[in-house]
Amino acid sequence: MFATVDAELAGFARAWLDRLALERRFAPRTVAAYGRDLDGFFSFLARHLGGPADVRALGALAPRDLRAWLAERQRRGYARSSTMRAMAAVRGFFRFLERQGVEASAAVRAIRLGGLRRMLPRALAPEEAERLLAAAAVPERALWVAARDRALLALLWGAGLRIGEALALTRAAVGAEPAALRELRVRGKGGRTRLVPILPEVAGALAEYVAACPWPLPPEGPLFRGVRGGPLQAGVVQALVRRLRIALGLPETATPHALRHSFATHLLSAGADLRAIQELLGHRSLSTTQRYTAVDASRLLALYNAFHPRAVESDPQRQDCGAEPPPLRPGVSD
């Protein structure tokens, strides 16, 4: 990596990535993605400038040079979201250089990509999540593997964990008696920890898996194991959910991360406080959690149309029906 720049600039780039990982506690995958983005930018500069870039070349960049880089990404078919991330990486690196006392071009601050429409979380309906967990409990091979898969998916939906957070759990995290587990300490993004309540059903699934697992589970070792005894990999879980959603006829949006989104959306539907959901998910900013209010907007509108008298009066198709509105699901607050 960084083979297309001189040694001094490559050293600055590696120092910046180290800072992201060690000081700002970025996730390893995020640091790796930023490194690839920056390396790609350097490779473009080598072609664009006719030779390896150095610190002086970065200081002399003009807006047209940055636009040429963006145009090349567009020609190569990069997604807009990918280019937004790459631009964030380049801007972050330039700010780092300035803090190190290195003169960096201000051209990068002059480039604007415009807003990127933020995708709404893709949640499953409660009955879809139930079907997914039930299907995971049906053994395809060993019984303990089915118990593991159900316990893991139950954590994602029942506790709102990210897949990486669940796979990072140690055996000690669930206690000597997993069936009695009532809260779980989770280490999330940026090294932040949070306490998540555990439902008895989820605790029961964890206890069943721990009892059935044929591999030793030392306290500080990984809780979830692969079929050969090593740490379970995220790709295995993603492949499992992909097989299950095809078999069950669920949409392509049914992914392991969709279970976390479902956790938040279902809590919001039941009247949970947005601040409480923020704490349970481990979001740094409430604005991130507020996305779920948009997900639930269609359901809220349906409830309004079903129950508000003015809604009945203003809808000609419903004025003559006289039928009772559909009941609220259990647990839904008015």
Residues annotated as part of the active site: 162, 189, 257, 260, 283, 292
Residue 292, number of CB atoms within 10 A of its CB: 25
Q: 């920890």: which residue's tokens? A: 193
Q: 């639930």: which residue's tokens? A: 296
For CA atoms 55, 60, 63, 67, give the dihedral sign. negative
Backbone angles phi, psi at 77, to 5 degrees: 85, 20
Residue 26 · residue 188 · CB < 8 Å: no
Backbone angles phi, psi at 328, to 5 degrees: -70, 145
CA gyration radius, the chain? 25
Calculated CA dihedral for residues 224, 229, 231, 237, nearest 10 degrees: -60
Contacts 24+ apart (CB under 8 A), 301-304: 303/328
Q: Find residue 5's DSSP bridge partners.
A: 53
